[in-house]
């Protein structure tokens, strides 16, 4: 999807009430099942949980504000868990001495950094 189409869609979605956004989501999922089955990227575990929770609340006809508040809490928890996970990975890389490799995935080490003569 090109940037202009993405921005146009987001602009149109931004003015709709939340109840109608769920209708849009339902239609998108219908189109996906018809034209691109199985091609959507897989969500991580906590995101799948949040989506199932949200779908269950929608089936019980809870108010969109209740659904939104609940899903926002799960979304915040997901961000915290992702942050802790990334911090743990960075600590692991530091302990294993892998900080001198470039982030682009190549195994070529970065050139050594020059430090001032005073050691700072």
User: 44 CB contacts (<8 Å, ≥6 apart)?
Assistant: 78
Lowest-confidence pick of 31-40, 61-70, 82-91, 102-111? 102-111
Residue 15 to residues 10, 19, 51, 54, Cα–Cα distance (Å): 9, 12, 22, 21
Instruction: Tell me: pLDDT of 111 over 90.
Output: no
Over 90: is that where the pLDDT of 65 sits? Answer: no
Q: What is the pLDDT of residues 26-37, one digit of tens each?
A: 999 999 999 999
**Is 66 exposed, middle or buried, given 0-12, 13-18 or 19+ CB atoms closer than 10 A?**
exposed
């Amino acid at each position: 999807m090109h940037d202009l189409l993405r921005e146009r869609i987001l602009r149109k979605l931004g003015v709709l009430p939340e109840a109608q956004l769920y209708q849009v989501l339902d239609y998108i999922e219908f189109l996906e099942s018809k034209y691109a089955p199985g091609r959507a990227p897989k969500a991580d575990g906590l995101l799948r949980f949040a989506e199932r929770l949200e779908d269950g609340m929608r089936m019980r006809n809870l108010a969109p504000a209740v659904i939104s508040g609940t899903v926002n809490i799960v979304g915040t928890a997901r961000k915290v868990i992702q942050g802790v996970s990334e911090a743990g990975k960075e600590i692991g890389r530091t302990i294993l001495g892998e900080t001198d490799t470039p982030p682009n995935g190549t195994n070529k080490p970065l050139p050594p950094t020059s430090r001032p003569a005073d050691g700072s």
